[in-house]
A and B are shown apart, each in its own frame.
Chain A
Amino acid sequence: MAFTFSPLSEQALVIETGAIINKESEQAVRKLSALLEKEAPEWLIEFIPAFTTVTVFYDPCQLKQAEVEQELKSLMAQMDEVEAPAPRQIEIPVCYGGDFGPDLRFVAEHNGLTEEEVIDIHTSGIYSVHMIGFAPGFPFIGGMSEKIAAPRRKSPRLRIPERTVGIAGMQTGVYPIKTPGGWQLIGRTPLRLFVPDQDIPSLLRAGDEIRFTQIDEAEYREQEAKQDADHS
């Protein structure tokens, strides 16, 4: 596989694993991330994996750009021996509709479905986490059915509560922290996606396979209380 290298800044180099998002480029990103984590070269400050890129941050006082590229190339000679971590299966319980999902009706009407049908479709998919980025623990999720796609709101909400599950176009996702946003809100999960007290502060990781399941409000309250107690 051919990789290309180009600077993001005088302290960061981008490794591109492909020009389009596909299994191959994503797998290469995961392998490369695993390699950088395992080898943790001294000059490496940190790295940010995305869909088709891994960006490495380094200290130019230690190494120049060309040297970083050289170091990476020799490190990447071991790529074939690295196993990307196996996908984990994670279930995300969601209490759909009501105050938690004020746009569930809109998503249903927009697609000529009932609210129950939207929930059935949303919970029947197997999704995969392509990357974590933008906000702490925020997953970019692929695999949502076109049948429940919906446009973003014309004017974004100023404050969306944390843990809210939304739909925007063909994407679905969960807001880990309170944020403004224009997604159509369909429900809320009791799970915390951003867990600052953990070594890895994100519940989800790139490569995870996730499924949404439906819970009622009582179960939501119970699980939320448990999550909050665990992370207080």
Chain B
Amino acid sequence: MTDVQQLLPCSEPVRFLEPTGTLVAGGPGEEASARGYAMPEPEALVEVWRNMVLGRRFDAQATALTKQGRLAVYPSSRGQDACQVAPVLTMTGPDWLFPTYRDSMALFVRGLNPAESMAQLRGNWHSGYDPKATQTGPQTTPLATQALHAAGAAYGMVRRGTGGVALCYIGDGATSEGDFHEGMNFAAVFNAPTVFVVQNNKYAISVPLAKQTKAPSLAYKGVGYGVRSEQVDGNDPIAMLAVSRAAFEHARSGGGPFLIEAHTYRMEAHTNADDATRYRSSDEVDEWVGRDPIVRLQTWLLAEGHIEDATVEEVRAEGEEIAARIRSIMNEDAVLDPMELFEHVYAEPTPQLREQAAMVAAEEALR
């Protein structure tokens, strides 16, 4: 293979598992096998399935909390469960995660404390967890900006010799932003171990992919930067895990960045405040609900005897416990101190901030 061919994605999205829950006859195909994507062991797939079930319960609970006014806003990732779970489960100790507002399920799977990771959604603070302690960047809202943070952090890890990889999530719309391109280019030039996962959920709020790009696959956007790239059926959890593993291995072993385009679908509206019926048909949504990644993998795992009906019930019950815990955390009234507003602008508040703090303190005293 020439150098360019080594970068190029497969001509069709990599798939191991049919939407019906049976394995693709003859495996994922010659192209995918040549690129080293291998069927993961059943135990790992059970873990992916389990985390998808729990992650979706988390996601449903968060959406419900917006209706009760307990969360200020929630961008759901229902339907993108395989994309949220498989790359995160591929991470190891030294790795860092750079998520967006869409990736709360990924944070849940990463094991962040929901009381902290949901602070932003609740409106308590802009971000509630410690990025250094959790090796997880704050969820970014300015689109694609995190691509550069991931590239810089990945290069920093090379300099520190930690052996870590930076996993960066990004949406399909955000691939039109300059920072996405600068991020890939910097990562490539500095040979920084970065795995970019584009969740192509077909819409940027209301704007369909056809209005973002003429590229035959978003994975081609990596090739121009010398970044190895792949496109995957993002609703096939087996393919997501197989390609994620190859991507992390590529980055960790000094091959530089790796771009994954995951073809998936956002089953819910952009956020709880959005009305998706204005820009997409219910037929389209139904079609994608029929490709549900959880149902797909669960069907296969049951058929193969890797899990039993009792396992499904156990995990469902575990999900209910998690949901109940989140409800109780979110139902506690937050205790916030307005004086904290002045504490984190600079290491030392400026004299001007001290004056304003005194004003607010006086106002508070009169409440």
A and B are partners in one complex rather than unrelated chains: no
Seen from chain B, the residues whose Cβ lies within 8 Å of a Cβ on chain A are: none
Q: What is A's interface to B at a CB cutoff of 8 Å?
A: none
